Amino acid sequence: MAVLEETLLVSTLLIVELALLILTVYLLVLTFRETKHREALIDRLITATRTFTRAEYFTIVQEAIGEATQYVYASVTGTKPEDEEEKNNVGRILTNISRASKIGVDIRILLPRDPSRLYMGYMYTNAGAKVKFNKSLLVNELRYMIVDGNTVILGVPEKRGVEEPTRKGHRIYSEGFALILKERFENIWNSSTSISYKDYVQEVIDDITRETPGVSIDYICSVTRLPREEVVAIAHRG
């Protein structure tokens, strides 16, 4: 009897070990398949996406605007260029915006609603773009541009912070992704919290003069970073 019980126990243990072995093999197969699918997905993303550095980022933006035939929608930080290289890069982008707007390309740019962004709002507007400001962009570290519904250019800083300049970028050819960002862009653009360039300049001027009656035009220019003639023209408009 004892021998029979021992035999049954051994058989049971063998069955359990066999079941565990089968389960292990099954999990290994699943893991292998998942790895293959993951690798295939990464390959597709690499094919669709190109990563480029800061210098290339500006070049790609310039080219994309120059190649646009329908529209360019961009949400950017709008910080004023300080060094010579940045000024040259921004200058070339403005030139392409001017050329594109003259052939009927709809160019819209969203900027953070902050007085320090008025300078680039002025520059973009003078180049022929439509510009609006929105407070929600102050906490948005993603900079993006959508071109003709099929290309997206993403810009990212090296570290957190809306003041951080764009250091790396990604160009993605995807109508689906472009549509998602376009819907987001249009929701912000058409929001009641978005304000046009000239209206925002007027608002800032009104706020400054309300807080400091009799303040000089030069002081307003120093706050807004706008040319004197621009401040005078908008102030007289109001």
DSSP calls for 103-120: TT-EEEEEEES-GGGHHH
Q: What is the pTM of this model?
A: 0.74
| Segments of the chain scoring below 70 in pLDDT | 1-54, 138-141, 157-168, 237-238
Residue-wise pLDDT tens digits, 65-118: 999 999 999 999 888 888 887 889 899 999 999 999 999 999 999 999 999 999
Q: How many beta carbons lie within 10 A of that of residue 210, not counting itself?
A: 9
Distance of CA 73 to the CA centre of its chain: 10
Structure tokens at 24: 């292990």
Query: Judging by beta carbons within 10 Å of its beta carbon (0-12, 13-18, 19+), is residue 31 exposed, middle or buried?
Result: exposed
CATH topology of domain 48-193: Endonuclease; Chain A (3.30.870)
Phi, psi of 227 (to 5 degrees): -60, 150
Q: Cα–Cα–Cα angle for 131, 132, 138, nearest 5°? A: 125
Structure tokens at 36: 């293959």
Domain ranges of the chain: 48-193, 200-237
Structure tokens at 139: 């906490």
**Do the beta carbons of residue 129 and residue 115 sit within 8 Å?**
no
Amino acid at residue number 157: P
Distance of CA 179 to the CA centre of its chain: 14
Q: Cα–Cα–Cα angle for 66, 169, 55, nearest 5°? A: 70
Q: Which residues contact 160 (CB under 8 A, 6 or more apart)?
A: 141
Beta bridge partners of 108: 73, 130
**Do the beta carbons of residue 203 and residue 196 sit within 8 Å?**
no
Looking at residue 3, what is its pLDDT?
47
Residue-wise pLDDT tens digits, 30-43: 555 555 555 554 45
Residue among 116, 112, 164 nearest 138 (CA): 112
